[in-house]
A and B are shown apart, each in its own frame.
Chain A
Amino acid sequence: MRVLLPLFFIFSGAGFVFNYFFEKEIILKSPICGAYKVNRIITETHPQEIPIFGSSRAGGGFIPDSLGSDLFNYGLSGTNYDVALFFLKQECRKIKTTPWIILNFDLDGMTYGRGDIGNYILNANNPEIEALLGADYRGYFSVPFIKYYGRYENYFGLFLSDRIELTKITNKGASLEKNRLPQKEFNDLVSERKNTSHTFRNDPVLEQRLLHIMNTNSNRQFIFVIAPYHTSYFQGYTNQAPEQAFLDTLRSFKNAKVFDFSKLPLADSMFLNTTHINYKGAVIFNHLLRDSLKALGAD
């Protein structure tokens, strides 16, 4: 005990201090980091900000500064609409001076995908985050220092990415790939994509939840944007009719607009893979999207 107690206090103290500075100086200073985005949507109000929600197709395809003066990209890799709706719910609670909300919409429909658990640990004590994590919630997420075990590098990597921009260009939460795959590897992906069938499928619970948010927040304007896909994606796409029907449902809302850029013709060099554009592709896509937003007055 004579040794164990001081040992415990030294370890805990050092861990706590490290944890404090890591969160303050690394995580909360990396706008492209998922944990930063989750924290920002929960704890900060930016009255004039137009948020962009969605998956990695949002995070790697929408350039806030190209679209307007006060936008922020909340796109999270590996997530789907359960997370986008969580963000949307937080956003709709805020008192804002701008009504616009941009939502990236993926052609495989609204399904579940929570993405990396590291996005949520910073705010794991929030009851809504705990509910979102469900069975994946772990008690040690409340223990400073230890809670980030195995993930420090991920946060640090994003922190560096944000500053060095070695392979990616970052802009207000957006992280856009500078490079492209070698043509041979890209061709392999294209062949693979052509041979894979994918379907549009909306989870009914998520669909209802989205429609409910739109109904109950008539003071907000929801802009659904479908970012570009490579042409090969549509060769294995089997049910475009229900997708169009759902987009029509969205269009029927007075406070919703749909911009479909899914078939925007872009060269292979503008793609990272068959479902994600790179920076070069994003510049063209955002230029066109900006015109559409300008027409609405949402820039």
Chain B
Amino acid sequence: MLFNSISFLIFFPVVTLLFFLLPHRFRWVLLLVASCFFYMFFKPEYILILAFTIVIDYFAGIFLENEPDKKKRKKYLLASVIANIGVLSVFKYYNFLNDNVTGLALLFNLKNPIPHLNWLLPIGLSFHTFQAMSYTIEVYWGNQKAERHFGIYALYIMFYPQLVAGPIERPQNMIHQFYARQQFSYNNAVHGLNLMAYGLFKKVVIADRLSRYVNQVYSNPGHANSFSALIAVCFFSIQIYCDFSGYSDIARGAAKVMGYDLMINFNRPYLASTISEFWSRWHISLSTWFRDYLYIPLGGSRAGKWKWYRNLIIVFLVSGLWHGANWTFIIWGALHGFYVIFAILTSGTRDKLAKATAIAKWPRIYKFINQLMVFILVTFAWIFFRAESFHKAKAVIGKLFEGTWSHNLTQLAAEKGPLNLILSFFVIGLLALSYWLPVNLKLKHSLLFLIITIFIIIILGKNGGAEFIYFQF
């Protein structure tokens, strides 16, 4: 079920109403059933995959807690990780690896006998797999007690607001909340609805509008000129931010109305002045996951210079691969790894340069230049993220540097009409205006904000129930 669909408009109030009408002891049942229903709306049979990993990790958690022998504990953890990664590999990476084997075999005039599998990627697989893994790892480390209540554990994995596109929650933040007796609170309800409205605004007013322009240019770069290619790549940066952070806001809001707190997943990432800061603001639940479960166990920055760089590259390559089984995602990850290492290597020189040019005397300007640089670098990397293939990415980059800056209106508007282009800039302006609001969206005049936001959604929203980009991961 999509958050931006009519079905959800009915589903959400019904579930919320039932939640507060039911006694506390039955609420987990309601939420679990509702979450199953929510997930099965996409492709019902894939709930079996989810059930498989839930059962494995539930027992893995208990075995890990009960087992005093370190070696055996390690084996249980390994079994759980293999089961989770195994499911992910089969559904997400099998065809990618197989296609690469086929390509390699063709180079030697050989035929790959392994068949290509025509199955769909279960929606949100990477999200709930990582959430499940964080549970067993935390139990293994002794930071979290194994959950004995199967229903509550299943709900931790399946809680519908964050099931298909995160935030990837840690057990320490979520499980205890399911035991807490949630009371209806007017403040929670209004705050939650505000978050949902703001998220929906980002999705249907901004992301879906910008997607029209972006899709047109990326599907047919040959028709674009340098101007429209530049607009499209910048628009995609904003589109993906609004699409994904919009989803996170709706998820947080839907949970908040019922009294649950999900973690903040985005913190105005394009205001970052360094790439490292960008990653502390973008998809925070995933970047902290990689930090805690991959980067630090690899040795982090304390293992010597070269190992540090190696660790960074590994983390970003895996992050790229997490997003999708395609070389374009790997390039995207590698680019970010390169940016971070380059920033480390040049930090001294950049500081000297700032002092020499006296730009550091104007901290605001200096910060703005850095923010702009980060935006340009991130936007360039997004080209690989958005393009369906390396060749398409190359074509878009080619257009950027082609030097065709003609004012042809049809090309400039990417064949979608000048009004669409004007409205695209207008809604970006609205997004910028919304940055005056507090990050947590706790407002003095919250009802007024809610009314205005719903008004804007109805007037400027794009009808059509477009999927969220991150659903495919």
Q: Which chain A residues have a beta carbon within 8 Å of chain B's beta carbons?
A: 3, 7, 10-11, 14-15, 18, 145-146, 148-153, 156-157, 160, 166-167, 179, 185
A18 surroundings in chain B (CB, below 8 A): 455, 459
B410 close to A179 (CB less than 8 A): yes
Minimum C-beta distance from B425 to chain A (A): 14
Whether A152 contacts B460 in the complex (CB less than 8 A), given A7-B451, A166-B409, A179-B410, comes out as yes
Q: Give Cα A10–Cα B461 distance, bound, in whole angstroms.
A: 21
A146 surroundings in chain B (CB, below 8 A): 458
Q: Is the interface of A mostly helix, strand, loop or mixed?
A: helix
A10 close to B451 (CB less than 8 A): yes
B454 surroundings in chain A (CB, below 8 A): 11
Minimum C-beta distance from B139 to chain A (A): 44
Whether A166 contacts B418 in the complex (CB less than 8 A), given A10-B451, A11-B454, A153-B423, comes out as yes
Whether A157 contacts B463 in the complex (CB less than 8 A), given A10-B451, A145-B458, A167-B409, comes out as no
Determine the residue in chain B with the shortest Cβ distance to A148.
B458
Minimum C-beta distance from A180 to chain B (A): 10
Q: Give Cα A145–Cα B458 distance, bound, in whole angstroms.
A: 8
Q: Give Cα A160–Cα B418 distance, bound, in whole angstroms.
A: 10
- Count of chain A to chain B residue pairs whose CB atoms are closer than 8 Å in the complex: 47
The contact of A160 among B410, B419, B447, B451, by CB within 8 Å, is B419
B418 surroundings in chain A (CB, below 8 A): 166-167
A150 close to B451 (CB less than 8 A): no
Minimum C-beta distance from B12 to chain A (A): 16
Whether A153 contacts B447 in the complex (CB less than 8 A), given A145-B458, A167-B410, comes out as no
Minimum C-beta distance from A298 to chain B (A): 35
B463 close to A150 (CB less than 8 A): yes
B451 surroundings in chain A (CB, below 8 A): 7, 10-11, 14
Q: Which chain B residues have a beta carbon within 8 Å of chain A's beta carbons?
A: 186, 204, 223, 409-410, 417-420, 423, 447, 450-451, 454-455, 458-464
19 new A-B contacts, CB < 8 A, other than A153-B420, A156-B419, A167-B410, are: A3-B447, A7-B447, A7-B450, A10-B451, A11-B451, A14-B455, A15-B458, A149-B461, A150-B204, A150-B461, A150-B462, A152-B459, A153-B419, A157-B419, A157-B420, A160-B419, A166-B409, A167-B417, A185-B223
A10 surroundings in chain B (CB, below 8 A): 451
Minimum C-beta distance from A8 to chain B (A): 10
Q: Give Cα A89–Cα B269 distance, bound, in whole angstroms.
A: 58
Minimum C-beta distance from B183 to chain A (A): 18
Q: Give Cα A149–Cα B200 distance, bound, in whole angstroms.
A: 13
A15 surroundings in chain B (CB, below 8 A): 455, 458
The 5 closest A-B pairs by CB, nearest first: A150-B463, A157-B419, A149-B458, A152-B459, A150-B461
Minimum C-beta distance from B395 to chain A (A): 16
Can you give 17 contacting A-B residue pairs, CB < 8 Å?
A: A3-B186, A7-B450, A11-B451, A15-B458, A18-B459, A145-B458, A149-B458, A149-B461, A150-B464, A151-B463, A152-B460, A153-B419, A157-B417, A160-B419, A167-B410, A167-B418, A179-B410
Q: Give Cα A150–Cα B209 distance, bound, in whole angstroms.
A: 10
A14 surroundings in chain B (CB, below 8 A): 451, 455
Determine the residue in chain A with the shortest Cβ distance to B457.
A149
B423 surroundings in chain A (CB, below 8 A): 153
Q: Give Cα A15–Cα B451 distance, bound, in whole angstroms.
A: 10
Q: Give Cα A153–Cα B459 distance, bound, in whole angstroms.
A: 8
Minimum C-beta distance from A1 to chain B (A): 11
Determine the residue in chain A with the shortest Cβ distance to B408.
A182
Minimum C-beta distance from B295 to chain A (A): 43
Minimum C-beta distance from A183 to chain B (A): 13
Minimum C-beta distance from B186 to chain A (A): 8
A145 surroundings in chain B (CB, below 8 A): 458
Q: Give Cα A18–Cα B223 distance, bound, in whole angstroms.
A: 39
Q: Give Cα A153–Cα B423 distance, bound, in whole angstroms.
A: 9
Minimum C-beta distance from B221 to chain A (A): 14
A153 close to B458 (CB less than 8 A): no
Q: Give Cα A3–Cα B450 distance, bound, in whole angstroms.
A: 13
Q: Give Cα A69–Cα B447 distance, bound, in whole angstroms.
A: 55
Q: Give Cα A261–Cα B447 distance, bound, in whole angstroms.
A: 61
Determine the residue in chain B with the shortest Cβ distance to A184.
B222
Q: Give Cα A113–Cα B3 distance, bound, in whole angstroms.
A: 30
B410 surroundings in chain A (CB, below 8 A): 167, 179
A152 surroundings in chain B (CB, below 8 A): 458-460
